[in-house]
Amino acid sequence: MEKCKALIIAVDGHSSTGKSTVAKLLATRLGYVYIDTGAMYRAVTLAAMRNGLINGEYVDEEKLRICLKDLVIDFRYNEGHARNEIYLNGENVEERIRGMEVSGNVSLVARIGFVRTYLVEQQREMGKTGGIVMDGRDIGSVVFPNADVKFFMTASPQVRAMRRYKELTAKGEAVDYAEVEENVRKRDYIDEHREESPLKRTEDAVLIDNSNMTIEEEVQVMMAVIEKKKC
Ligand code: DC
């Protein structure tokens, strides 16, 4: 019997479209590794904030370039939580990087060319043997332009803001909906208009608009696409 190929699956799209939720589910069903590249940009942002390198909209790029040399970012599997968690210099920062503060600053850091080059190199290394589901903004366009399967996920800004709002309030963060929607729209704008690797759907990416889909429906549609490529 033909041996199934260990695929590289790229999941790109707008923020708060549930990319990581479905990417994780796909990885579990396929027995693949899941890599959340947004978490890597968030970890660099946290390090920059801790070093006082972000002031309003200004990022001290010169110091960040030096700081980057000492950063060790890795993922470790947490059996209890059944997920990969991100570590920054040996510290588990999985929860810390998801708050509003890092979310508000991450686009400023993700648009810096040398930060992208540094992280893209690590991402290519992580996925080079296949058997991986990687989510982000530039996975199908830059990190793995030859990925076996590419998805591009979107949903209306209101649907995405409400999802994010519920997530944050469930964690006890005091936020108002308007602020969250503003953050979603601002991130879309920056992601789509930045000079370095702007977010865009490649021609070969399968579009998934999940505004009115359940997660299970989404996973089924995506698995059907993957199954065709697998063996
Ligand atoms: O997916 P996320 O919301 O955790 O991503 C955080 C930020 O990082 C978001 O503003 C876009 C950016 N990002 C990126 O530029 N490239 C990636 N591959 C992943 C995320």
What is the span of the domain harbouring residue 30?
8-230
| Band of residue 2 on the pLDDT scale cut at 50, 70, 90 | low
**Does residue 132 belong to any structural domain of this protein?**
yes
Q: Tell me, what's the pLDDT at 109?
A: 95
* Residue 8: strand pairing partners: 132
Q: Tell me, what's the pLDDT at 130?
A: 95
Q: Tell me, what's the pLDDT at 210?
A: 95
| Band of residue 4 on the pLDDT scale cut at 50, 70, 90 | confident
- Alpha carbon 91 to chain centroid, angstroms: 20
Query: Which CATH number do you get for residue 74?
Result: 3.40.50.300
Q: Indicate the average pLDDT of the chain.
A: 93
| Among protein residues, the one whose CA lies closest to atom 1 of ligand 1 | 38
- pLDDT exceeds 70 at position 1: no
Q: Tell me, what's the pLDDT at 113?
A: 95
User: Does ligand 1 come within 6 angstroms of the Cβ of 64?
Assistant: no
Mean pLDDT, residues 197-204: 92
Q: Tell me, what's the pLDDT at 7?
A: 97
- pLDDT exceeds 60 at position 224: yes
**Does residue 204 belong to any structural domain of this protein?**
yes
The answer to whether 178 touches 76, Cβ cutoff 8 Å, is no
- Nearest-CA neighbor of 38 among 187, 155, 146? 187
Mean pLDDT, residues 105-133: 95
In this structure, what DSSP letter does residue 208 have?
Answer: E
| Among protein residues, the one whose CA lies closest to atom 6 of ligand 1 | 38
Helix (H) or strand (E) holding 12: strand 8-13
User: Does ligand 1 come within 6 angstroms of the Cβ of 136?
Assistant: yes
| Residue 4 CA to ligand 1 centre (angstroms) | 31
Q: Give 6's contacts (C-beta < 8 A, 6+ positions apart).
A: 32, 129, 130, 131, 132
User: Does ligand 1 come within 6 angstroms of the Cβ of 42?
Assistant: yes
**Does residue 1 belong to any structural domain of this protein?**
no
Q: Give 223's contacts (C-beta < 8 A, 6+ positions apart).
A: 26, 29
Q: Tell me, what's the pLDDT at 83?
A: 86
**Does residue 2 belong to any structural domain of this protein?**
no
Kindly give the number of the ligand 1 atom that is closest to the alpha carbon of 41: 8
| Residue 13 CA to ligand 1 centre (angstroms) | 9
Please give the radius of gyration of the chain, using alpha carbons only, rounded to the nearest integer: 17
Mean pLDDT, residues 109-138: 96
User: Does ligand 1 come within 6 angstroms of the Cβ of 187?
Assistant: yes
**Does residue 54 belong to any structural domain of this protein?**
yes
**Does residue 165 belong to any structural domain of this protein?**
yes
Per the structure, how many domains does the chain have? 1
| Band of residue 131 on the pLDDT scale cut at 50, 70, 90 | very high
* Residue 134: strand pairing partners: 10, 35
Kindly give the number of the ligand 1 atom that is closest to the alpha carbon of 107: 10
- pLDDT exceeds 90 at position 102: yes
User: Does ligand 1 come within 6 angstroms of the Cβ of 12?
Assistant: no
Mean pLDDT, residues 68-89: 93
- pLDDT exceeds 60 at position 205: yes
Mean pLDDT, residues 186-210: 91
Distance CA 119, CA 111 (A): 12
Q: Tell me, what's the pLDDT at 190?
A: 83
pLDDT-above-70 percentage for the chain: 98
Residue with tokens 């889909």: 213
Reported as a single tens digit per residue, the pLDDT across 8-45 is 999 999 988 999 999 999 999 999 999 999 999 999 99
**Does residue 47 belong to any structural domain of this protein?**
yes
86 token code pair: 């991100």
- pLDDT exceeds 90 at position 183: no
The answer to whether 46 touches 97, Cβ cutoff 8 Å, is yes
Mean pLDDT, residues 99-114: 91
**Does residue 50 belong to any structural domain of this protein?**
yes
